[in-house]
Amino acid sequence: MIIVMRRDASDDEIARVVERLDQVGAEAHVSRGQTRTVIGAVGDREAITQVPWVALAGVERAVPVLKPFKFVSREFQQDDSIITVRGLAIGGGTFTPIAGPCAVETREQLFTAAQAVRSAGALILRGDAFKPRTSPYAFQGMGEEGLELLAEARDEFDMPFIAEVVDPRHIELVASYADIIRVGTRNMANFPLLSELGKQSKPVMLKRGFTASIEEWLNAAEYVYKEGNHDVIMCERGIRTFETATRNTLDISAVPVLKGLSHLPVFVDPSHSGGHRRLVAPLARVAVAAGADGIMVDVHPNPEQALVDGGQAITPDDFAALMSDVSALVSVMGMSL
């Protein structure tokens, strides 16, 4: 159930509602929006509904939540969530480009890419130290050494960085370095991992599982949100369909659908979606036009020599050209970089 407080509800009135929920054995989740406060109640449905909530001071209405995902829904929070990372606002009308190599390979490779994407307008650096690969013999990442290099690049180029966690045992390590923790498509349904990330203070980007429905994806986000970490970013990265012309099929309709169902920021990964560098720019432009809050692009100084996903990585020059298009489209969409 969602309890909507009046615009002029005092802190004491909000506290009394939370106290009443505690008395009936329910868990209260308070969301303070720009105009009013909303309290989500989780617990025994019968016990919660028996309380005459509208009779309590400061309460405007009590609304049952019908969707399986409660806290990430628009019913729980009408205003767009805005996530702050090192002073950088994500969501709420700003567009945030993320770019960098798919995997950290060497210091020179990372720093060359970071300098190039920063100069072109990227605001957050991407780069992974741990890689979940289909083949056990493929490059698995540099581990903590890669995280150390990413931290150096962050300080050198004044860019927060995002990195993937693939194992619950690595959460504390990755969180000690990264500004945003990413969950890849293969781990979207790793619910123990998601629950542990919900106990972290670092924002979490949740990529869509390549076979997941939007409802399943939002339920996965609920695992993180329910544990107390409300800084969750959704990232559409393409789904598996019958089509073989592209590596994945970008479900661009997911962007406006998510915007309607949830208050969480929505990003698009145009690199993994198509799986080929010639598709990155068109898909990125479509993402902006669809209303995405940002994009995440693979950029490598020498894509042909990349140890991971070189076929989908674009060059720094191509990224600079893409950012010129993105900047113009962001303005048309009424957003800001």
Question: Is residue 232 within 8 Å of 204, Cβ to Cβ?
Answer: yes
pLDDT band at 315 (very low <50, low <70, confident <90, very high): very high
How far are the Cα atoms of 45, 55, 77 from residue 213, in angstroms, in the given order? 27, 39, 22
pLDDT at 225: 93
- Whether 12 shows a pLDDT value over 70: the answer reads yes
Residue 127, class by beta-carbon neighbours within 10 Å (0-12 exposed, 13-18 middle, 19+ buried)? buried
Question: What whole-number percentage of the chain has pLDDT above 70?
Answer: 98
Mean per-residue pLDDT for 116-137?
Answer: 87
Q: Give the DSSP H/E element, type plus range, for residue 14.
A: helix 11-23
Least confident of 30-39, 108-117, 245-254, 271-280: 30-39
Tens digit of each residue's pLDDT (9 = 90 or more) over 172-183: 999 999 999 999
CATH value of 2-63 in 1.10.1270.20, 3.30.70.1140, 2.60.40.1180, 3.10.270.10: 3.30.70.1140
From CA 295, how far away is CA 192, in angstroms rounded?
A: 27
- Give the residue extent of every domain in the chain: 2-63, 83-332
Question: Is residue 146 within 8 Å of 161, Cβ to Cβ?
Answer: no
- Local structure of residue 304 (DSSP, 8 states): G
Question: Is residue 203 within 8 Å of 82, Cβ to Cβ?
Answer: no
What residues pair up with 299 in beta bridges, in sequence order? 314
Mean per-residue pLDDT for 111-137?
Answer: 89
Question: What whole-number percentage of the chain has pLDDT above 90?
Answer: 82
What is the average pLDDT score of the chain? 94
From CA 44, how far away is CA 227, in angstroms rounded?
A: 18
Q: What's the CATH class of domain 83-332?
A: alpha beta
- Whether 91 shows a pLDDT value over 90: the answer reads yes
pLDDT band at 329 (very low <50, low <70, confident <90, very high): very high
pLDDT at 189: 96
Q: 32 in helix, strand or coil?
A: strand
For the four alpha carbons of 251, 256, 258 and 263, in that order, the dihedral sign comes to: positive
Q: In what order do the strands lie in the sheet with 37-42?
A: 27-32, 37-42, 2-5, 59-63
Mean per-residue pLDDT for 300-328?
Answer: 95
pLDDT band at 134 (very low <50, low <70, confident <90, very high): low
pLDDT at 137: 61
Task: Match 């307008």 to its residue by tokens.
Answer: 121
Question: Is residue 197 within 8 Å of 167, Cβ to Cβ?
Answer: no
Lookup: tokens for 273: 């979606």
Tens digit of each residue's pLDDT (9 = 90 or more) over 186-220: 999 999 999 999 999 999 999 999 999 999 999 99
Tens digit of each residue's pLDDT (9 = 90 or more) over 285-299: 999 999 999 999 999
pLDDT band at 133 (very low <50, low <70, confident <90, very high): low
The tally of CA atoms less than 13 A away on the side-chain side of residue 30 is 14
What residues pair up with 148 in beta bridges, in sequence order? none
- Other beta carbons within 10 angstroms of residue 268's beta carbon come to 29
pLDDT band at 138 (very low <50, low <70, confident <90, very high): low
Tens digit of each residue's pLDDT (9 = 90 or more) over 13-64: 999 999 999 999 999 988 887 678 889 898 888 899 899 999 999 999 898 8
